[in-house]
Amino acid sequence: MPFSGWHDRLLGRPRWDEVAIWALDLETSGLHADTDRILSVGMVPIRSGVIRYGERFASLVRPPDIGALSTEGLPAHHILPAELEGAPLLAELLPDIDRRVREGVLLLHFASLDIGFLRQAYRRCAAVWPKPRVVDTVDLVLALHQRRQQWVPYAPPPKTALTEARAAVGLPSHPHHDALSDALATAELFLALRSQLGLCTLKSSFR
């Protein structure tokens, strides 16, 4: 193995195509993890560098206090309280989420927001937070922008919103603010960014 390969292994950076990567997205009642609730979850895996959409996982989530939900997020995700009444509780879904989170690397767009909600979910369910390795596609967007600035010093600011970040690398539009669709969109964005950056290993962080 070349020196750079050993160096990456010592730093805990696995090859990007040798680990399971689970792209995850959440739709929530608002932006505050301590008071708002998860309303839906979507997860899509990347294995051996290929999106395995057939292994997708998605569900609405029934909060215990539907009548008291904030409507802050409603204009974005359009999930009505009545749609949640027959959905499983978070405690019922967490084992399925946890199994996937623990399998490999967690891939998110704007990781801090969803990680905050996931941590709170584990706390509310009295479960142990697994401290997953996390890759944030926003970090890759910024890395690509920094590289481009070497050739275009006055390049316009990077676009970090998921839809705009995809358009900037030539990906088509997608139905946004749907957890499963956004998880798939994040997986596709990661593959495009990885290719343009020429990344061979994953620089992830424990969250």
CA distances from 68 to 37, 64, 65, 71 (A): 10, 9, 5, 9
**pLDDT tens, per residue, the chain with 207 residues:** 443 443 344 345 789 999 999 999 999 999 999 999 999 999 999 999 999 999 999 999 999 888 778 888 888 898 989 999 999 999 999 999 999 999 999 999 999 999 999 999 999 999 999 999 999 999 999 999 998 888 777 778 899 999 999 999 999 999 888 999 999 999 999 999 999 999 998 888 778
User: What's the CA angle centered on 120, arms 117 and 121, to 5 degrees?
Assistant: 85
Burial of 159 (0-12, 13-18, 19+ CB in 10 A): middle
Domain ranges of the chain: 3-199
CA distances from 129 to 99, 121, 125, 169, 194 (A): 12, 9, 10, 34, 28
State how far the Cα of 175 lies from the Cα of 81, in Å rounded to an integer: 21
CATH code for the structural domain at 3-199: 3.30.420.10
CA distances from 159 to 23, 42, 113, 124, 145 (A): 20, 23, 18, 34, 9
> With contact defined as beta carbons under 8 Å apart, do 57 and 96 qualify?
yes
Amino acid identity of 35?
Answer: T
pTM metric for this prediction: 0.90
